[in-house]
Each structure stands twice: as structure tokens, then as C-alpha cells.
Structure 1
Amino acid sequence: MRESVQTVQSVERALMILECFSLEKPQQTLGELAVQTKLSKSTVYRLLSTLAKCGYIKQDHLTQKYSLGFKLFNLGAVIAGNISLRDTALPFMRDLCDQISETIDLNIIEDGQRVCIEMVESSEQIRNIVKVGQRNALWIGASGKVMLANLDESERHRILSEAMSNNQFEGDLDNLVKELATIQSQGYVTSVDDRVKGSFAVAAPIFNHEGNLIGGITAAGPIHRLSEERPLHQLVMYTAYKISEAMGDSEAKNRYPMMEIAAG
């Protein structure tokens, strides 16, 4: 128990050091950091050494002053990327919701899981509710499967292997692999009674300017509103195409087989 408390305390102290840096004071000496954090110089030095080793702090060997490392810039870029995707996708999500009157959600992959980062709720009395921040396994439901299917093969293999080794995956791996191949080739997936009983979901992937998967968009609602007369998969794919195009994917047209039908 004591070791656990010390570990948490070390993290808190490391974060205190990082928070001492600002636009007004981007560089700090060891003594300045010790004064601001009210920690001993030896403690601050050990924490700075660890942060520097991991790339979160760097030291100017001429002035001996410390500043934030580029590792923090990389983490900030990840957050900025998600915000950019959310801001770009939201108008298209609202348009799709207005067209089909179903709940639309935007998802990304984080730590091997599907995470909802934005949602536009249907105005229908009976509707699906998706919570922003909600996490689910990638191999359950349309939202996760459409992203898993379009991941780089090595990354997909890593996620599934890790899940199996941790006894998180239950099912037939061969059947899942075949299903994912079909999803990738057709550009979308429709699920019924998969993750939530009595509901359907239609999802399509979203790509960035490098052609890499960055998320997926899903339309979901009660089963009784799913019919062949409403080609929801075409509209969902077209929305994903427009978002990908807005995110700089120059090859977006080639990634969605039925995009032209939906556009027409």
C-alpha cells in the first residue's frame, strides 16, 4: 500500500513541475522549480531527470535551464487532431441527422477501444442514446467493427492478440476476420441486435489526408425503422466520404463504393 501511495505522489509532483512552465516563463532553473513546487532540489532533480529521459522535459546545457519537451507537443497534437475531427464532422453529422432522424455518433480508437467523441441525438420519441466518452470493444457493434476492419493489418492483429491474451475476446476469430474483410471491401457495416438489443446501427469509416483511418460515423435507431426503402448505408457512407474529404483525403472517392449512388 505504501508503495502505491508513493507512486501516486511522484506522479502528482511530476505534474506540478510541468505546470510551472508557461508562455510567460517557458524556461526554469532547478532552484525556481523547487521554490514553486515547495519541493527539495534533490527531489525536483530526480523528477526532472525522469521526465527528461521520457522526452517530457529538456535541458539547455549552456544555461542549465529546463523547458518542456516535444513529447508534450506530440500528445497535444493527438488532442488537437481529435478536436479537429469533431469540429469538421459535426456539421455533416447534423445534416445526416436531419435527413434520417436517427442518432448520429462519431467514434475514434483509443487504447484499443472504440470511444464516442461526439453525438447528434435524434428528435424521434423512440431513439438510441449514445453517451460521449462511452467506451466499447472494437469487435462488438457496427461502430467498432467498421474501424477495426479499416485499421492497418498489423495494428488490428495487435489489438485482437492483446484482447485474446487478456481473455477479453469471446467468439470465433476466423469468422470475425472474414466479417472484417467484407466490411472493408463494401465500405460500411450494418448490425442488428448486436451491441444493443432491439436496435440497428450503420457505420462507415473516416480517413485523413494520409489515407489513414481516424474514426468512424454511425447512425443508430430502433429496429422497426430499419427497412430497404431507406438506404441508410448509402447516406452514412456519403457522410463519411464528405468528412474524409474535408479532412484532406484526396482518395476519398475510391474508398466508398456506393458514394456516387448516395450523392445522386
Structure 2
Amino acid sequence: MFFVARATNTASGVGNERRSIYRKFREVDILDKKKTVTALKPGEDRAILLGLGMIFSSVMMYFVLGITILRSYAESAWTEEGVCVVLNSTVTADMNCSYNCGSDCWRVSKYPCLQVYVNVNNTGRISRLSHNEETQDASSECFYVPSCQKDSAQMHTMIMNISERLKAKQQVPCYFDPSEQQDTVLLTRLYDHIVVFHSLLWPSCMFIGGVLIIVMVKLTQYLSRLCEQIVKIRM
């Protein structure tokens, strides 16, 4: 009986010792998990703030682009692209312009007014050619309005070089108004579809990146909670 009781006490002591060791390991494991969760939470919060900041910045960029580039692109009447045959390219007169010569100082210079007439798509429609929308708004007569400079001879040389290049090409791509409400045609557009695409590319990438960051953080948190629930069920 003595040996049986001693063996029983020994087995009981070994079992208690094993349970004590298991509890210690369990407590250490839980403590490590708590430390890990505590360490990860500030990083997750910063990642979410980064994603929200990227989304907010991209929305602001969309707003700025919407009232500048996209608005000009949508309101432009010259939407159709065609081929213009240069019929005439001549300098008609000298136009006055003013340039800045210092603080509260403006002086007058002159540049030649180049007028270019073209035949649009060989349809017999003769129109005046303008460089772009800004030139059309600045002057209703001249093909190109250079930046005003003190040296008028330099501006004259530049305009004459443009005239010679247009005469040499004879046919140039151009943009016209399909409704024919605008009598002029444009050589280039300030904002065409390529410019609009490149303008929207970076804010779109920033918006998608911000959304992906938030989705990844939320997915990580969901998987972490799911793993904790599975561990509790197994216990």
C-alpha cells in the first residue's frame, strides 16, 4: 500500500508539474501575442492614415484637373482631327505687344502678324489656321502670338521661320469644329486626349494605391481575428 500511495503521489506530482510548465508556456505565448498585437496596431493605424491621405490627395488632384485641363478639353469646339492643306502663309502687318522692363515698367515692341489659310480635308472649305486655343483667344487674326521681347527682329525671324516651315510641309494635321460654328482651325490643341490620359494617370495610381493599402490592412486584421477565434475553439 505504501508503494502504491507513493507511486500515486509521484504520478500526481508529475502531472501537476507538467500542467504548471504548460501554463507557464501558455502564459508566455499569450504575452508574446499581446506584445505583437500591441506593436502591430500603431503600424496598422499609420498605414490606414497613409492610405486615407493618398485617397484625399488624389481626390484633390482630380478636382484641380477637373476645373483646368478636363474643363478646357470638354469645352473645346475643335474636336475633329483632319488634314489641312496650306494655301497661303503671309505676313500682313506688325502687331504691338508690351514686355516687362522692370518694376512697374512696361515697354512696347512689335511682332509680325502671320496669317495662314488652309483647305480642310480637301473639301473646299477654306479656313484660317491658328496655333492653339490660347492663340485664338489672344488674337483673332494671327497664326501665332510670340512671347513679347525687346528685340523685335528676333520675333520677326521666328515668325518667318514658322511661315517657311508651313510652306514646306504644305499638308499639316489640324483640328476643326465639326459643327462649323468656328471659322478657324487649330494646328494643335492645348489638351488633347493624350494629355488628359497622362494627367489622370498619376492621381488614379495614387487613388488605387491608397485603396489597396486600406484593404490589405483590413484583410490582415480580419485574418488575425479569425486565427484567434480558431485557437480559442481548439482550446
TM-score of the aligned structures, taking structure 2 as reference length: 0.22
Structure having the larger proportion of residues in helix:
2
**For the pair shown, which has the larger CA radius of gyration, 1 or 2?**
2
Structure having the larger proportion of residues in strand:
2
